[in-house]
Amino acid sequence: LTNLLHATEAQHLYEAAREAMANSYAPYSKFAVGAAVLTFDEKIYKGVNVENASYGLTICAERIAIGNSITNGNRDIRAIAVCTRAAEATPCGACRQFIYEFGPGITIVYMSNGILVQKTIAELLPLGFDGSMLLHL
């Protein structure tokens, strides 16, 4: 089983991210984001961005979705889709590092001008930081 999704699987995951988007809490930016984690045992865990009146406390949809997967005992992440109303939107830098923690091969599914694109997190975050880098301490 590879991390790359078949087109229909990618569409299904992206649709889950779109469904989640409806529950986004984004009263300040008004920029709704939905995310959906797909695990290797084919479960889907959703997340939305959660903003705060103290703007910098905002948490992105991707991190909420991963937290949801981890909370439910599922760390075996295959892919994450992200949905917004922008023509193209990819996970922010902080989320890339957060995703990388669970594997450099995780597939990111996102829309780019009407085309559903898949890239690994290692492609989106070259030389990501990982736990092995802590071992010299």
Active site residues: 62
CB of 3: closest distance to ligand THU in angstroms?
Answer: 19
Shortest distance, position 80 Cβ to ligand THU, whole Å: 10
Site string for ligand THU, 2-41 (x = CB under 6 A): ------------------------x--x-x-x--------
The answer to whether the CB of 42 falls within 8 A of the CB of 71 is no
Q: Where are the beta strands (DSSP E) in 4-135?
A: 34-39, 44-48, 77-83, 107-112, 115-120
Q: Which residues touch 128 (CB under 8 Å, ≥6 apart)?
A: 96, 97, 100, 104, 121, 122
Q: Compare residues 3 and 110 and give the one whose CB is closer to ligand THU.
A: 110
For ligand THU, the closer CB: 54 or 137: 54
Instruction: Output the smallest distance, CB 99 to ligand THU, in A.
Output: 10
Six token digits for residue 18 = 């779109």
